[in-house]
Structures are given as C-alpha cells and as structure tokens.
Structure 1
C-alpha cells in the first residue's frame, strides 16, 4: 500500500521585530536579504522588553546587562563578550557601543544604563569605523539560541518569548518587508489594540514574526499497485510541491488552528483548498515550529522548539482530519 507524508519545519527567518523597529529597518538591504526565503508571518503582541543595568566591562572586554519585560518577574542576566569570531575584530580594533533608549527625554551619561530597547556595536580601526551588528533583546536571544553569537544567559528567558497572535499572513508574491509597508491590518492592530502595560506605545509591543521553512521532509512508500514512473519521479524529487504552495497551505493551517481575530477568512473548510496541498493527496501533513517560542491564542497555545525535532505540531491526516499534537 502506497503512502505519502510531508513534514514541514517552520523557523524564524529573523528575530521578532517590533512595529517601531520595522519602521526603522524596512528599507535595510541586509534584512531584506535575510527574509528572502520567508513568506509567512505572524503579527503578535507581548509586553515591552528592554535591556537594563547595562555596564561595559573594559577590563574583560565585554558588556554586562539584564533583560527585563514589563510585568514579568523574571530577570535575565547576560554577558556579551566582544572578542568573538563573529564580530571580526583584530588586535588594532576597539569596540564602540551605541544605545537606543526607550525614553529619549531622559539623559543617561554614566553606567549602569537603563530602559534601552536596542544597542549597536561598531569596530573602530585606526583608519575607519565599521558597523558590526545591532541587537534588540529578542534579536540577542534569537542569535544566541541559534548559535550565531557567544553570550552567557542566566534565568527563565523562555518566559520572554510568549506571543499573543493577532494575525497570520503570507507574502508569496513579494517580500515580507514590501508586503508590510502598506499593510492595513498592521495599522489596524496598532490603532485598535490596547497596550499590555500602562504608558507604553503599541508600536513597542506589536511584533512581526517572519518564518521560513527549515526543512520540508517528504516521505513516500510504494505498494504493489505503484507504477515505475511514479517511483522514479519520487526519487528525482519531481512530485514535490513548490514552496509557495506549501506556504499557502501553512497559512491556512495556522489560521484554522489559532483563529486570529484580525484574519477575515478563517478557512473553516481547511484542508479543502484550491491553492494549498489538498490536491496533492497526502496521507499526513505536519507543521512544527522549531524555535523556543510560545504562540498564544484564544483556545490555547502552541509551544515550539522543545527538542531538536521541534515542539507542538499541527497535523492533517488523510486530507480530512485536522488536529493539534502537543509534544
């Protein structure tokens, strides 16, 4: 008896960006390049996250700081060493740190520094200054858990990666950055959603989470009734759906699972669809989030990245049954 299954692993293509950060970087070529494989995004909300108690340590050539979230009692203690391969320093380089304060009306001249929503590093060589990298709290955490940077993190950092989902969207015909520049739903959310904490702008709480596929794993078995052409096509990978089709199906699956309040079409009849995977007649389809984040919706939550194989999954079985599988 033949069978065909498709297991899709969703991974953040870039760290979560607040609406404020998005407005700053929306024309950045490097970020555009990072998002070239991302066609699915969530608009979500969480309390403001900041760097606090920031103290540069010149003797150890590192930055010591904490990460706080409004209303969250957990304090994350961090140490970021400057002398690491990814920053490409040499013996003649000095590191400069520029801070972006959440409240620009209050001047801070001496450490420890507080209420910082981001900081940038630049290497200063004898003849020029070069930008290295910019970090928000979430970008630092995401770069750390993916192994992109070396950083010491102590505390319940996963309590900071919980997001209430307002909208699920796709951008298969243009980049996510271009899609969101004139996005009416993003503007609606910014206008209509109340801040989670008092005296905060929604632009610092509403976040864009862009996703790409870490992998699409197709497993196929063949029975006595299978023809040679089908088996050869499978071995050559010719019967795989294209990425846009899988993204379109993933959007429908996530909307069906979470029923976000700003999505007008809730795909009640999914997995039946004209532009998804329905006509590919898979016996099983799965969507799993690979990052250690939690997506919160009215009826529950989806926890990702609990192991190297991911966390909770959305399953579609025999093109009919739709179910959530908790890890």
Structure 2
C-alpha cells in the first residue's frame, strides 16, 4: 500500500456570492452540493448574457464579461421535460438583470440569469452564464456555443477549504474568511459590487485508486508479484472493491493541503510547507507516492501558480 491516485471534479457550476445568497435554500442546489468536499473562493469580472432574444422555443444571444473583448454566441432549445425546463407542456421564462430595466425590450442587455417555471408557475431552475457553460461542457449537447470559452472562465483564487463535517452551504454561511474577502476585495470592474464578482467553485472526489501488481495462477487464484497466493481479503484489496472508502477523510485532507501548497492563495494562512508530511494526510496512512488530479471548468490563478483550463489540467509555477 504505497501508491495512490485521486481525481476531483467540479460538482456544481461556479456561482457568485450573490447567487449563493439567493439560491442556497433550493433543494436541487443543495443536492448537488452534497457530493462536494473541497471549495475555492475566487474572483472574476461579472459574466452576463447580452443581446438576448427568446422566440420559437429558442433563447439566443451572447455571453460577455466586463472588461473582456471576447464574446460567445449561444443558442438554447427550450424542451419541456429536460433539466431546468419542468415537465409540463409549457415553460415560462423570466429574465433577471444586473441593472434596473423598467421596460426591457429585445434584444435584452445585461442579463444576469434566466429563470424557468412550469405552466403552474412552479420554479424549475435557472441558468447563469457560468451555469450554461458548465452544463454545455458537462453534457456536450446542452446548448450550442461558438467562441473561446476558456477566455471567459478565468478565476483568481483567494482561498481553498474543505467541508467534510457539515454541509458546505452551512460552512460557507458561517465562514469568517468568506466574509473577510467580501469586505476587503475591491471589484475588478467599478460598476459592480463584490458579491457579483466573488465566486465559489465546488469539487468532489470522483475517483481514487492504488495501482497494484498481481498475477493469476493456473488454478485461477490471484498471487502477488512474487507468486505468493493471496488470501480472499488480500485479493479483495488488490481488486480495490472497498478498501479506499475508509481513507476518504485523509484523501480530502491531503488534496486540500496539496492544492494550498501548490496555489498558495493569500487568504490561506496555513501553507502546508512540509506537504506531504501533514497530520491526518495520506502519508500517515502508509502511502509514499501520492498523485492528485483536480479538474476545473476554468483556469485558476494566484500570484504563485496557474491551473490551466483543459480536460487534463496543466500545472505551472
């Protein structure tokens, strides 16, 4: 038991602190958060929908970001029965704006989110620009997008943390550093308020394995690399059926320390300079080679390091 590999994926789209405050009580949102064990508090200029038109069962327009010349084109088919759109034959659409628009007329400008209701006026979901891009990247055919998505999804990482002993929503609601970041960080674009720029990213453990070497003897028994037959318990461990679940807490502790040590966010005062020699980490469980893969939908940056947007992220100091 000397080697372990893990993979963490985003379990929920990046959401602004403003969105978090408005939607944290939604059961569907909390359900998606349950599988998240790591989170990042980040910042980026506001991303918004622009030139939005809804007609003939299709919502179309552009996705823009303050201070960024890049714009994406999008088209979204409204299909009742599909995620977000409810199960009734009719879907009601409501637009929310970043500024006061008493009589908005298409094409709509500065749209913060698109809300959906069924024919009985029951809320069925909402899409922010980041949520639309997340579902497009996750599902593939959720929407039609044209343009360089990676140019908009860039996040300055302020803090990395974990929530294993309580729901992540409750952890963030009482989080002193989260409140400190909201109070101290100036908006990158003057017209917006910090809660619209401060963003939350959520990651959950998707995969963990310990590569092992074994052989199958003539009689069908499993043996180790030296030919020694394995007991039933040893064979079960060699085939990784259950044994890593008991290390879940140590995996999350270790991944958090690894990320902090690599990214060095300035609001993380504990830097884990001796990583992987940490208490309650994977080295204390007997692993001497530890490899974590964290896959974000976006590029993560601090003054010290960058985690680039890709299917298999590239790390650079």
TM-score after normalising by structure 2: 0.88
Matches within 5 A, 1:265-284: 265-284=270-289
* Partners of 2:80 and 2:89 within 8 A in 1: no
State the Cα deviation string for residues 89-128 of structure 1 (Å, max 9, x = none). 77x7222111111113x3233111111111111232xxx2
Instruction: Tell me if 1:293 matches 2:295.
Output: no
Q: Pick the aligned partner of 1:86 from 77, 82, 88.
A: 82
Deviation at 1:176, TM superposition (A): 0.7
Q: Is the partner of 2:45 in helix, strand or coil?
A: coil
Deviation at 1:192, TM superposition (A): 0.7
* Partners of 2:4 and 2:289 within 8 A in 1: yes
For residues 217 and 284 of structure 1, the distance between their equivalents in structure 2, rounded to whole angstroms, comes to: 12
Matches within 5 A, 1:199-238: 199-221=191-213, 222-224=224-226, 228=230, 231-232=234-235, 233-235=237-239, 237=241
- Tell me how large the CA RMSD over aligned residues is: 2.3
Tell me the equivalent position of 2:221.
none
Deviates more, 1:222-231 or 1:288-297: 222-231
Tell me the equivalent position of 1:27.
25
Structure 2 gap ranges (5+): 214-223
For residues 8 and 103 of structure 2, the distance between their equivalents in structure 1, rounded to whole angstroms, comes to: 41
Deviation at 1:30, TM superposition (A): 1.7
Alignment length, in residue pairs? 303
For residues 212 and 143 of structure 2, the distance between their equivalents in structure 1, rounded to whole angstroms, comes to: 41
For residues 67 and 250 of structure 2, the distance between their equivalents in structure 1, rounded to whole angstroms, comes to: 40
Matches within 5 A, 1:1-327: 4-58=2-56, 61-83=57-79, 86-87=82-83, 93-104=89-100, 106-124=101-119, 128-147=120-139, 150-221=142-213, 222-224=224-226, 228=230, 231-232=234-235, 233-235=237-239, 237=241, 239-240=243-244, 241-304=246-309, 306-307=310-311, 310-312=312-314
Structure 1 gap ranges (5+): 314-323
Deviation at 1:66, TM superposition (A): 0.8
For residues 226 and 252 of structure 1, the distance between their equivalents in structure 2, rounded to whole angstroms, comes to: 37
State the Cα deviation string for residues 259-313 of structure 1 (Å, max 9, x = none). 1110121111110112110122324222223343111011231124x23xx2236
C-alpha spacing 1:267/1:63, structure 2 compared with 1 (3 Å): same
